[in-house]
Amino acid sequence: MQKAIVIVPTYNEKGNIAKTIESLDVIFKKIKNWDMNVLVVDDSSPDGTADLVRDLQKKFKFAELLINKKKSGLGGAYLSGMNHAFNKLNADLVFEFDADLSHDPKKIPDFLTKVDQGYDFVLGSRYIEGGSIPENWGFHRKFLSVVGNRFINFLMLDFSIRDWTTGFRAIKKEVYLAVEKEMHSELFSGYTFQIGFLHKTLRKGFKIAEVPFEFKDRVIGNSKIGPEYIKNTLLYLMKVRIKEILEMRVVKFAIVGAFGAAIQLIALQLWRMIFSSEQTFVFANFFSIETAVISNFIWSNLWTFKDRKLKTSQIPLSFLTFNLSSAGSILIQTVIAYGTANLIGLNPVFSVPFINYVVDTGTISSVAGIFIGMFWNFFAYNTFIWKKKKN
Ligand SMILES: Nc1nc2c(ncn2[C@@H]2O[C@H](COP(=O)(O)OP(=O)(O)OP(=O)(O)O)[C@@H](O)[C@H]2O)c(=O)[nH]1
Ligand SMILES: [Mg+2]
């Protein structure tokens, strides 16, 4: 039989822990296909939570206790708890479960069903059908929780998960082993642990499911969560997303291209110091284009396609191809402009208010030409110059 351990972190939960363990016992008795256990992780709570747990252990044989000498924060408590559960107690699955009666133990069998169906990570969700947050929460708290989670959806461009910040979770050993090494940072010692762990699980391609539950407010004891929690969680996710977006090849390509356009304008001014007459302007123009092409080639090789970096011996031929590709892009733009002027004519389409700028079919075809030219370049770089390495 597979072993599941419900990890319950506690800090000053003397008033709640007995009830929590009793209610877990009730539900454990109904679960037949999993070996169910509890691991309380107490950070030496000054209120003596640990002593009470030791007392309870006499009656509830499934309960283990792990004590951290110092207060280690929620993330610290879960990391030490998971390490103990998976490596010492041979768990196959752990639950994250609050000691303050906020999480409904009756939902545990639903989590197990999802795991039996092949999911690796199950979230107790307040924001899917059947789930809820307490009605008595003030507007402020409701707003932050609901809007915060929807904001995370947009930030992640992922709408499959509804409750990113929930603390009621089931996590398989495989997930823990894959993610754990990246979690030992000061950054994850507190509540950022939850969003960090979930994000990394998602990125590693594990199967995630949600089951609904009705979140109950704590009645006894104090919430340890502070306002920094929301700030830190969102800051963390924004940083991660900016990093992820900057790592996307198309985004790098666009940045290199924009940088190249700026280089071209600056280079034009410099080359005009040498080719200063009207007759030689065409040289200044040509050399400024070539300066930008060289810059684009270098940055593409060092950054955009750094995973497919060219060998020194490949550079001359590749640089030639790169020039041909750029020329192709200019040709595309010219053909589109020429075609538009000759076939449709330069007719006004609309005028921009305040600046009285008239957008005509010529403007539109130029913009379209730039995009189609960029598309061509990106295609050409990928297919002819920085070809995907065969493995
Ligand atoms: N071991 C340990 N447990 C902690 C720590 N901080 C919080 N906890 C426990 O983690 C669980 C969740 O903490 P709460 O303070 O209830 O935070 P919350 O549930 O997110 O917030 P509320 O909605 O206000 O209840 C509880 O069981 C706490 O006792 C900590 O530093 N160490
Ligand atoms: Mg709580």
Give 156-177 pLDDT, tens digit per residue.
999 999 999 999 999 999 999 9
DSSP 303: I
Domain hosting 288: range is 249-385
CB of 75 closer than 6 angstroms to any ligand 1 atom: no
Q: Which of 195, 221, 246 is the last residue of a domain?
A: 246
CB of 96 closer than 6 angstroms to any ligand 1 atom: no
| Averaged pLDDT, 316-325 | 97
106 in the same domain as 224? yes
Nearest ligand by distance to the CA of 73? 1
Q: Which of 40, 70, 74, 217 to mutate to test the pocket of ligand 1 (most atoms within 8 A of CB)?
A: 74
Which residues is 96 bridged to in the sheet?
7, 169
Q: Report if residue 390 sits inside a domain.
A: no
Quote the number of domains for the chain. Answer: 2
176 in the same domain as 143? yes
Q: Report if residue 146 sits inside a domain.
A: yes
pLDDT in tens, 325-354: 999 999 999 999 999 999 999 888 999 889
232 in the same domain as 159? yes
Q: Report if residue 8 sits inside a domain.
A: yes
Instruction: Give the residue whose CA is nearest to atom 11 of ligand 1.
Output: 98
226 in the same domain as 319? no
% of the chain residues with pLDDT over 70: 100
pLDDT in tens, 183-193: 999 899 989 99
The type of residue at 100 is: D
254 in the same domain as 225? no
54 in the same domain as 187? yes
* Tokens representing residue 237 in the block: 């996710």
First vs last C-alpha separation in the chain: 40
Closest to 96 (Cα-Cα) out of 145, 147, 21, 166: 166
Task: Please report the atom of ligand 1 found closest to the CA of residue 224.
Answer: 15
Q: Which of 246, 261, 278 is the last residue of a domain?
A: 246
322 in the same domain as 178? no
pLDDT in tens, 103-118: 999 999 999 999 999 9
Instruction: Give the residue whose CA is nearest to atom 28 of ligand 1.
Output: 10
349: CB partners within 8 A, 6+ apart: 359, 360, 361, 363, 364
CB of 225 closer than 6 angstroms to any ligand 1 atom: yes
Q: Report if residue 305 sits inside a domain.
A: yes
304 in the same domain as 375? yes
Q: Report if residue 288 sits inside a domain.
A: yes
373 in the same domain as 230? no
Residue 281 pLDDT exceeds 90 = yes
CA distance 81 to 60: 19
Q: Report if residue 70 sits inside a domain.
A: yes
326 in the same domain as 227? no
Q: Which of 246, 275, 306 is the last residue of a domain?
A: 246
The type of residue at 101 is: L
Distance 176 CA to ligand 2 centre (A): 23
Q: Which of 71, 100, 164, 230 to mutate to test the pocket of ligand 1 (most atoms within 8 A of CB)?
A: 100
% of the chain residues with pLDDT over 90: 85
CB of 110 closer than 6 angstroms to any ligand 1 atom: no
DSSP strand pairing (121-125 vs 208-212): parallel
Residue 220 pLDDT exceeds 80 = yes
Exposure on the CB side of residue 267, measured as CA atoms within 13 A = 19
CB of 81 closer than 6 angstroms to any ligand 1 atom: no
CB of 194 closer than 6 angstroms to any ligand 1 atom: no
CB of 100 closer than 6 angstroms to any ligand 1 atom: yes
Report the CATH number at residue 56. 3.90.550.10
237 in the same domain as 265? no
Inter-residue contact 284 to 274 (CB < 8 Å): yes
For residue 157, count CB atoms less than 10 angstroms from its CB and return exposed for 0-12, middle for 13-18, buried for 19 or more: exposed
Residue 391 pLDDT exceeds 70 = no
Instruction: Give the residue whose CA is nearest to atom 10 of ligand 1.
Output: 9
User: At 172, which helix (H) or strand (E)?
Assistant: strand 169-172
Confidence category of residue 140, pLDDT binned at 50, 70, 90: confident
Task: Please report the atom of ligand 1 found closest to the CA of residue 229.
Answer: 20
309 in the same domain as 214? no
Distance 16 CA to ligand 2 centre (A): 11
Instruction: Compute the radius of gyration of the chain from its Cα atoms.
Output: 30
Distances in whole angstroms, Cα of residue 197 to Cα of each of 158, 183, 212, 252: 16, 7, 20, 27
